[in-house]
Structure 1
Amino acid sequence: MSKAQDLWAALKPYRDRRIVATFGLGMSSGFPLTFVISLLGIWLSRENVSKADVGLFALITTFYTWKFLWSPAIDRLPLGPITRLFGQRRGWLFTIQAVMAVCIFAVAGLEPSTQLYSVAVLCAAIAFLSASQDIVIDAYRIEIIDDREEQGYSAAAYVFGYRTANYIAGVGVLLIANYYGWALAISLLPLLLLPGFLAALFIGEPKARDESDFLAEERQSNSKMPRVLERLREAVWLPFKEFSRRDYWLLVLLFILLFKAGDAVTAIMTGPLIVEMGFSDLDIATANKTVGFITLMVGVGLGAVLYKRIGIYPALLFTGILMMLTNLGFAWLSMGATEGWRLAVTIGFENFATGLGTTVVIAYYAGLCNANFTATQFALMSSLGNQARTILGAPSGYVAEAVGWVEFFLYATAVALPGLILLFILWKKDVGTGNLATGDGKADI
């Protein structure tokens, strides 16, 4: 088989209808975060809301960090007739999307300058619903894929859709707002819920997974417990108990926390660096919206191929080293002239590595999930993975001011090393995702 045929065979899974559906789910999942993090600040600023008040709106993003707290309810709690009609996953998805659409329509009709409190409440509700939708979609897209090796393609399609919606929402809302006003621009955002809705409607509810030995044993040992308490225990406690029975589970969680630490530290300070160097808005737009977007998408697509061809730990190692090296790229940028091509190269390299890494990491999380507790365990891992951005990213500005740009990005490179060391340890101990998902609960670290 030629290399071209080999590559074509590697890309064939993208034609699977379940993988295509995952793209639509990613679109529905991606646009609310763009609204909450980016568009909301621009809209409020245009409406003469003070910088101090705009800054406070950042607090609503904490819903994304702590979504694992209510994920057990979404994982196990039925919604009565809605669940009977659509199933557990789709019932929650359709309900959340309907309520989110109402909240977006409502906030679009408000005037931030005179109704700021109402805007804040509705935006907090949108962020909460967005994080809740992520819980459902993560579980749904994992459960509709039977072959664990195809999880890489599912992750890639999800990120494709997610980033596409980011781009459409970011550019589309600004263009429509410029010509027709913010009310119309924001009120059109719920249209991006349709791809996910239609995908889930078309694919149907995931097949019920077989009861694991762990869950069967727990139900047997607690058979005399009242039904309400038993369901509550299964929803809240058992996902964490099951994970804690696995070999080296604490080491795995520590790895998840630290793996993207260097990338998280750098991401906070790339904006200030670019502005301080004097790059124009056109340079930034070209680097981010064209070169950066294209290289990100290429990285996302190749990440699935990498995951399937070389295995999870080699893929994690390759992407981890690549993401670490992108920090040195920003050090190189800071030492040279303010030239657009240098910015494009740096952003392009960084986005390519991010695309590869995001796909592989999402597939890794999926492989760690027990089929009986998908939503809760994936929410726990994704929330933990985002903690590094908050914990290590917060003081990054002080570090940059104290040591300078080159030294800061060398520091960010060093921050990535502990995660790679933990990766080597897990690899050496052969802590595979398949073993973890069916662990017998012997030794931890």
Structure 2
Amino acid sequence: MTRAFSDWLKGLAPYAEKPVLATFLLGMSSGFPLTLVISLTGIWLSRFGVSKETVGIFALATTPYAWKFLWSPAIDRVPLGFLSRYFGRRRAWLVLIQAGLAVAILYLSVLDPAVDTVLIGFVVLAVGFLSASQDTVIDAYRIEVLPKDRLGHGASMVAFGYRAGNLIAGYGVLRVAESAGWSVAIALLVLLLLPGLVAVIWVGEPAHKEDPLLVRDQSLIAKAKGLEKVRLTLHEAVVLPFVEFTHRRDWLLILLFIFLFKAGDAIAAIMTGPLMVDLQFTEGEMANANKLVGTIALWVGIALGAVLYRVAGVYRSLALSGILMMVTNLVFAWLATRGHDVFALAVTIGSENFATGLGTTVVIAYLSSLCNLSFTATQYALLSSLASQARAIMGTFSGVLAENLGWVSFFLFSTLAAVPGLIMLLLLWRRSVGVEQETGQG
């Protein structure tokens, strides 16, 4: 018993280390823009009478999360002049992107949904682009600054921070909007950029490691001239990260699983805000149930996700979290049958947050473990982009589906949409793909 307790305390010790603590702050700045894009915008527009079909189209603002791997090579390899010389490569990109986010959010805050719907769409898309770019930098920084044996702890802490950013943004905006209006509430979101900036100043620039493939390419670049030098530079930035990944066993199966795993959640997520508005919940009720009550369930889910990943291993933990996330869509269908029931809303959001917290920790640790440290930004961007593809593609049609199917049938459909991802997980598990990442076989 004493030894087990000692081992448990040793397992908690890394959470007090500076790089691990910093991932919490990075997660806060990474998490809040998605809440603005996928949840708060839907509530804001619905409150001003914008149709569900139009709100559904706003899911296109999540497209940059799905395609960020296209410009991630630039973030991985391109220096930013004096910013890079002063801050270092990773931190320079973060400073630049956060400045753009601040401008976009402040501009969004002065627009009127009743007359500026199209313009709001473009600005929210810009927020999505900048947020996806910020995620690319933060993910690369997090993986590079943490030792390999701290990736699980970092996954848990960045998930805590990410969801803290979600909750602070969601609860805070709804509360402020109720008393001071939506313009002030949205403008105050720029304050959530500060934790990430503080984190990278506190920890510093990570050391950069070079894969043998990269070292060989760089030696060729040094000798080349003219167009050949440009070609080799593009090959280094764009091609090599993908070449390295395709050398792995069953790499196509891995990518297909990542694409399908959260399909059901992708369809449902964009419509949870309009559902609550349709059920006539007030901003205060949504704030208390949707963000405040769900906080406890979320923290428990994230904490158990780290334990589950360590004890059960990759595939068992992915399977359990995937099943739970699928079941929470059924709970939303139940909420639709209950009507304006604050207790039912709290139960629904509590269930969703618990499953999301569990799944987020496991998925972050899994994707991080797949990255080669020489190509961190590009490879993690590719993997996380695939995870977002279903949200961008399927979420676009969610408003039309909800309008035509009705709320109960819509959430039943979103539940079934999760099944293909679980089938792909079973295939990977049976073929023992990535079993070397398993942390708790037995």
User: Equivalents in 1 of 2:108, 2:358: separation in Å?
Assistant: 36
Matching residue of 1:201: 201
* 1:237 alignment partner, SS class: helix
Q: Does 1:168 align with 2:188?
A: no
The match for 2:68 is 67
Q: CA deviation at 1:142?
A: 0.9
SS of the counterpart of 2:79? Answer: coil
Question: Structure 1 residues 116 and 339, CA, compared in 2 at 3 Å: closer, same or farther?
Answer: closer
- Letter paired with 1:215: L
Cα 1:344–1:125, aligned 2, differ >3 Å: closer, same or farther? Answer: closer
Q: CA deviation at 1:237?
A: 1.6
Contact 2:30 2:131 in 1 (8 A): yes
Q: Which is worse superposed, 375-384 or 284-293?
A: 284-293
Offset of residue 358 of structure 1: 0.9
Please state whether the residue corresponding to 1:66 is helix, strand or coil. Answer: helix
Please state if 1:89 is matched with 2:95: no
CA deviations on 1:372-415 (whole Å, 9 max, x unpaired) are 11111111111111122243445556666777766655544443
Counting only pairs closer than 5 Å after superposition, residues 16-415 of structure 1 correspond to structure 2 as: 16-40=17-41, 59-108=60-109, 123-147=124-148, 149-180=149-180, 184-209=184-209, 211-219=210-218, 225=224, 226-268=228-270, 270=272, 284-330=286-332, 339-395=341-397, 409=411, 411-415=413-417
Distance in 1 (alpha carbons) for counterparts of 2:143 and 2:15? 15
Distance in 1 (CA, whole Å) between partners of 2:173 and 2:283 is 18
Structure 2 regions of 5+ residues with no counterpart?
none
User: Structure 1 stretch 85-94 or stretch 333-342: which is displaced more?
Assistant: 333-342
* More displaced stretch, 404-413 vs 5-14: 404-413
Amino acid at match of 1:213: P
Q: Which moved more, 1:135-144 or 1:255-264?
A: 255-264
- Does the CA-based 8 Å contact 1:150-1:308 persist in structure 2? no
Contact persistence 2:105–2:187 (CA under 8 A):
yes
Q: Answer yes or no: is the 8 Å Cα contact 1:260–1:388 preserved in 2.
A: yes
- Kindly provide the amino acid, as one letter, of the partner of residue 236 in structure 2: E
Q: Name the CA distance, whole Å, in 1 between partners of 2:258 and 2:42.
A: 30
Could you report, residue by residue, the CA deviation over 1:189-232 in whole angstroms, capped at 9, with x for unpaired residues?
322221111110110111121x2233345556777543333222
- Percent identity, aligned pairs only? 55
Q: 1:72 to 1:312 in 2, by over 3 A?
A: same
User: Any idea what SS the aligned residue of 2:208 has?
Assistant: coil
Q: Residues 23-79 of structure 1: CA distance to partner in whole angstroms, max 9, x if unpaired?
A: 111111222233344445666678x79669877665443222222211110111011
> Is 390-399 or 83-92 further displaced after alignment?
390-399
Q: CA deviation at 1:347?
A: 2.8
Quote the Cα distance in structure 1 between the aligned partners of 2:408 and 2:110. 47
* TM-score of the aligned structures, taking structure 1 as reference length: 0.83
1:255 and 1:422 in contact (8 A); partners too: yes
Shift of 1:128: 2.4
Could you tell me whether the CA contact under 8 Å between 1:31 and 1:166 is conserved in 2?
A: yes
| Structure 1, 137-146 or 310-319: larger mean CA deviation | 310-319
CA distance in 2, matches of 1:299, 1:118: 37
Change (3 A) 1:72 1:311: same
Give a deviation string over 1:260-296, Cα, whole Å, max 9, x none. Answer: 2233334355556666667676664443223322211
Q: Which stretch has the larger CA shift, 375-384 or 161-170?
A: 161-170
| CA contact 1:291–1:344 (8 Å) conserved in 2 | yes
Return 272-281 or 365-374, whichever deviates more: 272-281
Count of paired positions: 433
Q: Quick one: structure 1 residues 323 and 104, their matched pair in 2 at CA, closer, same or farther if it must change by over 3 Å? A: closer
Structure 1 residues 401 and 4: alpha-carbon distance in aligned structure 2, compared to 1, 3 A threshold: farther
Rate the CA distance shift 1:198–1:268 in 2: closer, same or farther, 3 A: closer
In structure 1, distance between residues paired with 2:261 and 2:235: 31
Structure 1 residue matching 2:375: 3-state secondary structure: helix
Residues 367, 433 of structure 1: 8 Å contact kept? no
Letter in 2 for 1:191: L
Partners of 1:90 and 1:195 in 2: CA distance: 13
One-letter amino acid matched to 1:199: A
